[in-house]
């Protein structure tokens, strides 16, 4: 169904090819998981198979890529679409029409299917991905998880022979991700060849039988049965910054279980002075109360994680703490910086250097150059000083947005989902940066639904559900309380469940696992 | 008011009419009212049209009034400019400017014409779903698939724009260490930087949406429409009725000797 021979792809303006000499055969009915670090060409491979590269996105392509018997590099994307369904990360990029019905029917209309057959096919496909109840909705009103299910239905409705999935759960909260992963599992059926890029392997439930690993140089590093490749190659995979299922991570760490890991104690952070205090914080949006009666003290030297599902009021809390939303209650304390979820929303200058200098300049700080220089080093931005922030890679943008806020020297730093959609290396770098800021004596508040990140950096956890505080306490207590997590709707990641059996604090266990699997020093 | 491009959320005779037919009828009426420059013809048309659209579209009077009021300043400026710039017998002097009878007549005519066209435009907008209009234009006016769906995708981007604009302004204002709680900066520099970020983000989203539509086969050949917009005899009756009444009013004002055109004014 898919036949790739000696595929090489080089994008204009980049010195090195992103893919080199890639061979891949996928038979009908076969499922392949593609693993690689950031920038190693996973998405590019999928875009070649979908006919997007080089036809819509310019690139120099060598070798052969045949999909359903057609040359994917020359067959127009729209014609190839008769055989290929594609699902990408972000529902807002894929839902192009105003209503769910129109959206799902679109692929069939484009193929000239008899209008009488389209309606039943649309409803059948929506039902097959657990979205039958969304048939009457407008696409703009859907949540991330709902939108992704509708986008999956839109990709599946024409019954494609090939399904390409590019991190379909990357931007979802854990509950929504599991729902979409379930729908995806149902979609990889009879005779359909599936190629999938996915980070959240533990949440997939069960992994495709075959895995293709791309090295940092864009060459195929391994291709074979998932169990064997993950086991044999675990160490190098972990070194590349790829997310791995827990079993493979343990293999990479050279242990059979977390209990066998050598865990060094990590120093407990002692709460410093109170740098921010919120009392009775509440936020209304229109007629809806999205946050109600939240009290929170932020102390220097401590990281407080705010967790909860989408819609639990996490982001509203941060906006209220930063004084960016009209809110009831009081917020008192020092200066506050906030790192937003999408770095692009926050960029103000046309070069990395100016971006870092922006805040210190506005604050009329005397040592702007020193701060910029330290920011370039701390956030691994040396060599990128003159680059346009909007043209950086996702990981670089993330580091820049963190750095640009950190150099301002605020008493409190708030961060909204800083590891959203990032690979393991960037996530680890973010975690380190936040920890370092706290250790420097700032108060840090981190909003996330990644409980592993919480375990890695947080001292305290505030659990929110539907705008109300469920619990506020030390991280080890909150993460040990199954009933509480289940009330918040947050499934415990496998690694956190396993860490409970070790008897060590969760941060110490995760730190030990990091050290054992990501040997290269990670500096944000 | 409704969200951008969405009809009032109820059913009515006007809601049920084919959007392309409605648009065409609206266009023809707008062209016809270019002819008279006396106040009586547009006034008579307005007296007929306003209750007609309120009734047929079940549009509340205040909603129609508020929306039509948007055309007020333009109508008034037409009246004012014409009143003092046309030759003719002087009827008054205002702020040192001579107001002529001819100028007043033409000015009132043009102002009423503006309010009439505005009323019809508002009625069209409040009873027509943007997406159904595009589907209908694609289906009945042979608008190509690519422009049709480009507009629809653009509309989706537009729907997200207000929320994104607020987020970007919040995100950028907090970058300024001197930002004040509870306020977002409004100086031209801040607004233009926010607009630039919004432009970049929206353009990139547009690109990705264009690719998403290609990967679902847009432009691969002849296409079908699964929920076609109806076009039937009732639309013909609607068109005939509206255009008939319009012509009748013009005929009546002509026979009554009230009709003036640019050549007889």
Convert the pLDDT of each residue in A257-286 to its tens digit. 888 888 888 887 788 899 999 999 999 988
Q: Which residue of B133, B145, B171 is the best one to mutate when testing the A interface, meaning the one whose CB has the most A CBs within 10 A?
A: B171
The confidence score (pLDDT) of residue B2 equals: 54
- Residues in A touching B226 (Cβ below 8 Å): 105, 108-109, 115, 118-119, 122
Cβ burial A359-394 (10 Å sphere, 16+ → b, else e): bbbebebeebeebbbebbebbbbeebeebebeebeb
CA–CA distance, A40 with A45 (Å, rounded to integer): 10
Domain boundaries, chain A: 2-253
Banded model confidence at residue A519, pLDDT cuts 50, 70, 90 = low
Distances in Å between the Cα of A384 and the Cα atoms of A432, A470, B122 are 21, 43, 52
ipTM confidence score: 0.88
From A339, A340, A344, A447, select the one nearest A394 (Cα to Cα). Answer: A344
Residue of A nearest to B200 (CA): A390
Give mean pLDDT, residues A381-391: 92
pLDDT at B5 over 90: no
- Residue A425, pLDDT > 90, answer no
CB pairs under 8 A between A and B: 174
β-strands A31-35, A193-197: how paired?
parallel
Q: What is the pLDDT of residue A169?
A: 85
Give the model confidence (pLDDT) of B95-134 as tens digits.
Answer: 888 899 999 999 999 999 999 999 999 999 999 988 889 9
Three-class secondary structure assignment of chain B: CCCCCCCCCCCCHHHHCCHHHHHHHHHHHHHHCCCCCCCHHHHHHHHHHHHHHHHHCCCCHHHHHHHHHCCHHHHHHHHHHHHHHCCCCEEEEECCEEEEHHHHHHHHHHHHHHHHHHHHHHHHHHCCCHHHHHHHHHHHCCCCHHHHHHHHHHHHHHHHHHHHHHHHHHHHHCCCCCCCCCCCCCCHHHHHHHHHHHHHHHHHHHHHHHHHHHCCCCCCCCCCCCCCCCCCHHHHHHHHHHHHHHHHHHHHHHHCCCCCCCCCC
B143-188 confidence digits (pLDDT tens): 999 999 999 898 888 888 998 999 999 999 999 888 878 788 889 9
Q: Which DSSP symbol is given to A49?
A: H
Interchain contact, A324 vs B184, CB within 8 Å: yes
Which residue in B152, B150, B164 sits closest to B199, CA to CA?
Answer: B164
Instruction: Please write down the long-range contacts of B149-155, taking CB distance under 8 Å and 24 or more positions apart.
Output: B149/A96, B149/A97, B149/B213, B149/B218, B150/B210, B152/A96, B152/A97, B152/A98, B153/A96, B153/A97, B153/B206, B153/B209, B153/B210, B153/B213, B154/B206, B155/A98, B155/B4, B155/B5, B155/B130, B155/B131
Distance from A70 to chain B by nearest Cα, in Å? 15
Cβ distance of B211 and A359 shorter than 8 Å: no
Closest CA in chain A for residue B135: A102
What is the least distance, in Å, from the CA of B134 to any CA of chain A? 11
State residue A301's pLDDT score: 94
Across the interface, which of B178, B201, B219 has its CB nearest the CB of A362? Answer: B178
Residue A168 contacts residue A93 (beta carbons within 8 Å): no
Beta bridge partners of A339: A415
Q: Check if the beta carbon of residue B235 is closer than 8 Å to that of residue B17.
A: yes
CB A76 within 8 A of CB A55: yes
User: Do A78 and B228 count as a contact with CB atoms less than 8 A apart?
Assistant: no
In the prediction, which pLDDT does A422 show?
80
Q: Which residues of B touch A84 (CB under 8 A)?
A: 215
Q: Quote the CA–CA distance of A170 and A419 in Å, as a whole number.
A: 10
CB contact under 8 A, B178 and A56: no
Two structure tokens written together for B182 = 């509870």
A6 — alpha (psi -120 to 50), left (phi > 0) or beta? left
What is the distance between the terminal CA atoms of chain B, rounded to a whole angstrom? 40
User: Which residues 291-330 of A have a C-beta within 8 angstroms of B?
Assistant: 319, 322-326
Q: pLDDT grade, residue A174 (50/70/90)?
A: confident
Measure CB to CB from residue B226 to each of A108, A139, A155 and give the nearest one.
Answer: A108
Question: How far is residue B49 from each of residues A344, B17, B116, B120, measured CA to CA in Å?
Answer: 49, 16, 8, 8
Contact B97, B161 (CB under 8 A): no
| pLDDT score recorded for residue A462 | 96
Dihedral of CA B126/B129/B134/B137: which sign?
negative
Distance to chain A for B208, nearest Cα, Å: 6
Beta bridge mates, A285: A288
- CB neighbour list of residue A60: distance below 8 Å, 6 or more residues apart: A8, A9, A10, A11, A12, A54
Q: Spell out the alpha helix ranges (H) of A264-321.
A: 314-321
A352-361, A415-424, B144-153, range with the lowest pLDDT: A415-424
First to last CA, chain A: 42
Going A331 to A336 to A340 to A345, the CA torsion angle's sign is positive
Mean predicted lDDT score pLDDT of chain B? 91
Residue A119, pLDDT above cutoff 90: yes
Round to whole Å and give the CA distance between A146 and B92.
67
**Structure tokens that stand for A84 in this block:** 């290929």
Whether residue A107 is predicted with pLDDT greater than 70 in this model: the reply is yes
Q: Which of B215, B218, B221, B227 to mutate to test the interface with A (most CBs of A within 10 A)?
A: B215
**DSSP character for A134?**
G
Helix/strand/coil (H, E, C) string of A458-516? CCEEEEEECCEEEEEEEHHHHHCCHHHHHHHCCCCCHHHHHHHHHCCCHHHHHHHHHHH
The pLDDT tens digits of the residues spanning B185-202 come to 889 999 999 999 999 999
| Residue pLDDT, tens place only, A125-171 | 999 888 899 998 989 888 888 899 999 999 999 999 999 999 888 87
Distance from CA of A502 to the nearest CA of B (A): 41
Sequence-separated (6 or more) residues with CB below 8 Å from residue A405: A337, A338, A339, A359, A413, B175
Predicted local distance difference test score (pLDDT) of residue A65: 95
Q: What is the pLDDT of residue A271?
A: 81
- C-beta separation of A494 from A318 below 8 A: no
Phi-psi region of A247 (alpha: psi -120 to 50; beta: other; left: phi over 0): alpha
On whether any CB of chain B is under 8 Å from the CB of A391, the answer is no
Which tokens hold the place of A433? 């940066």
Give residue A203's pLDDT. 75
Please give the pLDDT value at position B1.
Answer: 47
**Cross-chain Cβ contact A102/B215 below 8 Å:** no
pLDDT for position A522: 46
- Can you tell me the distance from the alpha carbon of A75 to that of B177, in angstroms, rounded to the nearest whole number? 53
Whether the pLDDT of residue A344 is over 60: the answer is yes
The mean per-residue pLDDT over the stretch A23-37 comes to 92
DSSP state of A99: B
Element at A68 (helix H, strand E): none
Residues of B in contact with A112 (CB under 8 A): 221-224
In the CATH scheme, what is the code of domain A2-253?
A: 3.40.50.300
Residues 400-419 of A with CB under 8 A from B: 404-405, 408, 410
Decide if pLDDT at A523 tops 50: no
- The C-alpha atoms of residue B19 and residue A79 are separated, in whole angstroms, by 31
Residue keyed to tokens 């599936």: A194
Cα separations (Å) of B232 from A212, B12, B18, B54, B239? 57, 16, 8, 23, 11
Q: What is the rounded average pLDDT of the residues A478-504?
A: 90
Does the beta carbon of A366 lie under 8 angstroms from any beta carbon of chain B? Answer: no
pLDDT above 90 covers what percent of chain A? 61
Q: Identify the pLDDT of residue B73.
A: 93
**Partner-chain contact A51 B211, CB within 8 Å:** no
**Mean pLDDT score, A227-234:** 88
| Smallest Cα distance from A78 to chain B, Å | 4
Cβ-based neighbour number of residue A433 at 10 Å: 25
- pLDDT more than 70, % of chain B: 98
> What pLDDT, on the 0 to 100 scale, is given for residue A210?
94
Confirm or reject contact between A158 and chain B (CB < 8 A): yes
- Across the interface, whether the CB atoms of A96 and B149 are under 8 A apart is answered yes
Domain coordinates in residue numbering, chain B: 13-134+230-255, 143-214
Of B164, B175, B208, the CB nearest to A346: B175
Q: Does A139 touch chain B (CB under 8 A)?
A: yes
Distance from B160 to chain A by nearest Cα, in Å?
8
Q: Please tell me the distance from the alpha carbon of residue A298 to that of residue A458, in angstroms, as a whole number.
A: 12
Written in H, E and C, the secondary structure of A344-393 is HHHCCCCCHHHHHHHHHHHCCCCCHHHHHHHHHHHCCCCCCCCCCHHHCC
Measured between CB atoms, which of B159, B217, B228 is closest to A110?
B217
Q: Which residues contact B252 (CB under 8 A, 6 or more apart)?
A: B44
DSSP A205: S
Across the interface, whether the CB atoms of A56 and B223 are under 8 A apart is answered no
Question: Would the CB atoms of A96 and B224 count as touching at under 8 Å?
Answer: no
Distance CA(A449)–CA(B214), nearest Å, equals 33
pLDDT the model gives residue B177:
84
Q: DSSP E strands: which ranges in A31-156? A: 31-35, 60-67, 70-71, 84-87
* Closest Cβ opposite residue A319 in set B170, B214, B227: B170
- Cβ of A404 within 8 Å of Cβ of B175? The answer is yes
pLDDT confidence band for A89 (50 / 70 / 90): confident
Give A315-337 pLDDT, tens digit per residue: 899 999 999 988 999 999 999 99
Nearest to A97 among B131, B211, B228 (CB): B131
pLDDT in tens, A1-17: 999 999 999 999 888 99
Please state, in angstroms and rounded to a whole number, the distance separating the CA atoms of residues A424 and B213: 31
Q: Out of B155, B170, B214, name the one closest to residue A56 (CB).
A: B214
CA A241 to mean position of chain CA atoms: 13
Q: What is the pLDDT of residue A524?
A: 44
Q: Residues 6 or more apart from A13 whose CB is under 8 A from it? A: none
Cβ contacts (< 8 Å) between A92 and chain B: which residues?
160, 205
Chain B neighbors of A355, CB-CB under 8 A: none
Q: How confident is the model at residue A424 (pLDDT cuts 50, 70, 90)?
A: confident
By C-alpha distance, the chain A residue nearest B181 is A323
Confidence (pLDDT) at B4:
59
Task: Quickly state the pLDDT bin for B62 (edges 50, 70, 90).
Answer: very high
Query: In this predicted structure, what is the pLDDT of residue B48?
Result: 95
CA quadruple B214, B216, B221, B226: dihedral positive or negative? negative
Q: What is the pLDDT of residue B199?
A: 94
Please tell me the distance in Å from A104's CA to the nearest CA on chain B. 10
Note whether A51 contacts B: Cβ–Cβ < 8 A: yes
Among chain A residues, the shortest Cα distance to B132 is held by: A98
Cβ–Cβ gap A348/B209 under 8 Å: no
Res B202: pLDDT = 92
pLDDT at A288 over 90: no
Per CB-CB distance under 8 Å, the chain A contacts of B213 are: 96, 106
A243 contacts chain B (CB < 8 A): no
- The whole-angstrom distance between A99's CA and the closest CA on chain B is 9
Contact (CB<8Å) B227/A101? yes
pTM score over 0.80: yes
Q: What is the pLDDT of residues A175-196, one digit of tens each?
A: 888 888 888 888 777 789 999 9
């Amino acid at each position: 169904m898919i036949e790739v021979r000696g595929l090489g792809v080089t994008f204009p303006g980049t010195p090195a090819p992103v893919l080199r000499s890639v061979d891949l055969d996928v038979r009908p009915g076969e499922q392949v998981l593609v693993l690689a670090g950031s920038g190693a060409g996973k998405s590019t491979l999928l875009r070649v198979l979908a006919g997007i590269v080089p036809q819509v996105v310019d690139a120099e392509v060598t070798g052969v890529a045949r999909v359903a018997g057609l040359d994917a590099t020359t067959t127009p994307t729209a014609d190839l679409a008769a055989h290929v369904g594609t699902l990408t990360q972000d529902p807002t990029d894929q839902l192009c029409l105003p209503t769910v019905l129109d959206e799902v029917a679109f692929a069939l209309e484009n193929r000239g299917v008899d209008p009488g057959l389209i309606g039943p096919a649309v409803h059948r496909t929506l039902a097959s991905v657990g979205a039958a109840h969304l048939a009457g909705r407008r696409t703009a009103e859907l949540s991330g998880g709902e939108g992704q299910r509708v986008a999956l239905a839109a990709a599946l409705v024409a019954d494609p022979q090939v399904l390409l999935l590019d991190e379909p759960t990357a931007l979802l909260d854990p509950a929504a991700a599991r729902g979409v992963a379930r729908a995806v599992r149902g979609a990889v059926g009879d005779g359909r060849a599936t190629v999938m890029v996915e980070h959240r392997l533990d949440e997939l439930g069960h992994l495709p039988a075959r895995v293709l690993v791309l090295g940092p140089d864009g060459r195929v590093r391994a291709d074979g049965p998932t169990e064997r490749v993950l086991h044999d190659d675990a160490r190098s995979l972990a070194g590349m910054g790829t997310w791995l299922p827990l079993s493979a991570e343990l293999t990479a760490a050279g242990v059979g279980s977390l209990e066998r890991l050598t865990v060094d104690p990590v120093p407990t952070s002692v709460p410093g002075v109170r740098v921010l205090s919120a009392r009775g914080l509440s936020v209304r949006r229109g007629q809806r109360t999205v946050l109600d009666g939240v009290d929170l003290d932020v102390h220097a030297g401590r990281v407080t994680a705010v967790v909860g599902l989408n819609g639990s009021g996490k982001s509203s809390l941060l906006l209220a703490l930063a004084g960016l939303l009209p809110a009831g209650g009081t917020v008192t304390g020092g200066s506050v910086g906030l790192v937003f979820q999408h770095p692009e929303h926050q960029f103000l200058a046309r070069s990395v250097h100016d971006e870092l200098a922006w805040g210190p300049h506005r604050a009329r700080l005397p040592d702007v150059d020193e701060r910029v220089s330290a920011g370039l080093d701390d956030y691994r931005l040396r060599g990128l000083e003159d680059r346009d922030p909007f043209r950086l890679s996702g990981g670089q943008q993330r580091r820049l947005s963190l750095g640009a806020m950190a150099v301002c020297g605020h008493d409190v730093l708030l961060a909204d989902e800083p590891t959203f959609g990032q690979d393991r290396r960037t996530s680890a770098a973010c975690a380190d940066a936040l920890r370092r800021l706290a250790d420097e004596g700032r108060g840090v508040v981190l909003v996330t639904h990644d409980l592993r990140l919480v375990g890695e950096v947080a001292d305290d956890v505030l659990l929110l559900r539907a705008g109300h505080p469920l619990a506020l306490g030390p991280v080890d207590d909150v993460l040990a309380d199954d009933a509480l997590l289940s009330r918040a709707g947050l499934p415990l990641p496998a690694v956190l469940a396993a860490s409970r059996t070790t008897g060590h604090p969760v941060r110490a266990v995760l730190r030990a696992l990091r050290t054992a699997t990501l040997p290269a020093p990670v500096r944000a | 008011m409704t969200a951008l491009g969405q009809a009032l959320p109820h059913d009515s005779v006007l809601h049920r009419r084919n959007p392309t037919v409605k648009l065409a009828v609206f266009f023809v009426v707008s062209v016809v009212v270019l002819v008279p420059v006396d106040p009586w013809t547009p006034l008579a048309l307005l007296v007929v049209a306003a209750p007609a659209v309120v009734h047929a579209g079940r549009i509340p009077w205040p909603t129609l009034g508020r929306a039509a009021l948007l055309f007020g300043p333009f109508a008034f400026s037409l009246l004012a400019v014409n009143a003092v710039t046309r030759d003719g017998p002087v009827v008054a002097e205002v702020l040192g400017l001579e107001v002529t009878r001819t100028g007043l007549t033409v000015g009132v005519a043009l102002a009423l014409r503006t309010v009439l066209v505005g009323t019809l435009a508002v009625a069209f907008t409040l009873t027509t779903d943007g997406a159904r209009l595009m589907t209908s234009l694609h289906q009945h006016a042979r608008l190509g698939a690519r422009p049709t769906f480009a507009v629809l995708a653009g509309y989706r981007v537009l729907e997200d724009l207000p929320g994104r604009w607020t987020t970007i302004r919040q995100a950028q204002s907090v970058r300024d260490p001197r930002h004040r709680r509870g306020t977002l900066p409004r100086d031209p520099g801040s607004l233009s930087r926010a607009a630039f970020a919004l432009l970049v983000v929206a353009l990139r989203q547009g690109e990705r949406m264009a690719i998403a539509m290609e990967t679902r086969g847009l432009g691969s050949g002849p296409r079908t429409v699964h929920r076609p917009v109806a076009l039937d005899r009732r639309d013909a009756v609607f068109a005939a009725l509206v255009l008939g009444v319009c012509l009748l009013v013009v005929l009546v004002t002509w026979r009554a000797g009230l009709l003036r055109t640019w050549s007889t004014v």
